[in-house]
Structure 1
């Protein structure tokens, strides 16, 4: 008897469907897990690459802003300006970043700061405009500063010196101790060449908590109890290591008088840990950032304040010619110090 090809016999049972076994299901899950494990680092690296590119663009924008400022006023801004109505409050001085606001497309914010401060007469601390977030001043790889403060990740360079209040020692492209026009420098003062001298680099924001230490790379300064060292410029590796190993750690570094956790809070402030750094120690220095004096509200004190970032392996910098590049944290110390100085007679070509 013949039936049409492909037709089942009347009354016959259809073939049973074969399901996944438990072993097969586990294998599939394992394969998916492996793929996710392989893809996640790639996704994270892609995100960090995008953040680093954004940070680099910010720094190029700042370099251009300082150049435009110089073209307009024939000088760079000082790193800090005292409030005219309170000329003794160095710790409440205005920053160079505040002065370049009109050149980073923030002219209205600059005018608001002028208005609220009575043209920079009052100290910056109570000026509401100073809490306005400026994207050009923030690295997307770092955290946000707690609360409603603006946060800032970029700082100008005092050079290879620990001194906040000694203009003669400040050998970077910027200087200032809260004075006025006498603290300002021009491109003609950068005798080592603009492309060979650091203008701006990165640092990290704090957590506003003096009762806990941030683990790992942080710009929070710790009070170094040893006082000012005998040198104030171009220390050797052995000299900065001697200080680094003596910086308090653990519970000895806790408390308002021992650490300063408000770093990276105010772009309006012309202080170390806010908008000023130095090149005494290499980027992402393995030891804690430190102040040569008691801690507390402001870092208007001498110390070691190196650039730091969340970018793996180093920091982004902007040179005096406005170019942006990445500098490895393993850079030779003298090379880094010479790059920070504007007039040491030892120009260096950075990679």
Structure 2
């Protein structure tokens, strides 16, 4: 029996009951007839067809909702496992991984950096892949584009609610938070749980320890989700998308107001030049690939946007809001490794403070 949210039978149950009572009554009547068994009349057939049509119309949305509930649960479990993996990494190395690590032999290009996901592979039962990758990359001395393992699919980095990346690349739906800042390659400007390389590349990747998160682990965002692109830089995707537009400048770096975001977002919405490679590789430490910030709320009404143009992916500063196919918000992993659903209607100041690790602001998550 299908039950509604108040534990009462749904209209589907009532229609089914009426339908079966009708069949039972008709059978009883036919058994009492002394003549040969009667056939369905045209009116009866039309009634049955109409009832079946109504049942299908009622059941299909319920089936879709059940499927999405299962997908969302799977996605939530991924966040729990990834959050625990981050804590296990911290137990081993006394810090969380950096958001990106530039290769030693080519430190001048941050778009060739390795992501935080590479570091936690041993903690999500991907030891073999980690060993192969470290060996192939000679411990991050060469660029990630040179290793075949970049195309390996890892289910732990994929949300079943989203579609697959179309070109045969592994895809990635999850990323670390660098906080409420548009800077992605300057660790001194990043106030989130994760920090990346220094802009002058003197530091390949800066790791953050629990002692640095003075706001408390349960008050700080760790991981969140994004959507994969369509591998098409010519046409824009329809609807909610993580693909970033290119080239809208701003004067602020941290904690923009709602008015600041509206002005920036409206300008971005008029730009068609974009990257369609978001969410293509879990191996690379770039915004819209494995890095997001908390400048704008989840499922922001405007498109994600860089502050300047770029080549492959989003190796530029910008607004990279988390996004998902879950109705009404996004899933996250909090600093204490718990999984939460954050509604897209969350107060902007609360969301921005949630992204900071040491701003001293007390928050109350919805």
2:107 corresponds to 1:65: no
Q: Which residues in structure 2 correspond to 1:34-53 (within 5 Å)?
A: 34-53=54-73
Q: Which residues in structure 2 correspond to 1:148-159 (within 5 Å)?
A: 148-159=168-179
Structure 1 unaligned runs (5+)? 1-13
Compute the RMSD of aligned alpha carbons.
1.4
2:133 corresponds to 1:117: no
In 2, Cα distance between equivalents of 1:117 and 1:181: 15
The 3-state SS of whatever aligns with 1:183 is: coil
1:262: which partner in 2? 277
C-alpha displacement of 1:16: 4.1
2:268: which partner in 1? 247
Whether the 8 Å CA contact 1:223–1:248 is kept in 2: the answer is no
Tell me the matched-pair count.
330
1:140: which partner in 2? 160
The 3-state SS of whatever aligns with 2:268 is: coil
2:223: which partner in 1? 200
1:8: which partner in 2? none
2:319: which partner in 1? 304
Whether the 8 Å CA contact 1:78–1:181 is kept in 2: the answer is no
1:6: which partner in 2? none
Whether the 8 Å CA contact 2:240–2:299 is kept in 1: the answer is yes
Q: Which residues in structure 2 correspond to 1:71-220 (within 5 Å)?
A: 71-177=91-197, 180=203, 183-220=206-243
Whether the 8 Å CA contact 2:179–2:193 is kept in 1: the answer is yes
In 2, Cα distance between equivalents of 1:342 and 1:287: 26
C-alpha displacement of 1:21: 2.1
Q: Which residues in structure 2 correspond to 1:268-347 (within 5 Å)?
A: 268-347=283-362
2:259: which partner in 1? 238
Choose 1 or 2 for highest CA Rg. 1
Q: 310-319 or 125-134, which moves further after superposition?
A: 125-134
Greater fraction helix: 2
C-alpha displacement of 1:105: 0.5
| Stretches of 4+ aligned residues off by more than 4 angstroms | 178-182
In 1, Cα distance between equivalents of 2:362 and 2:144: 37
In 2, Cα distance between equivalents of 1:43 and 1:278: 34
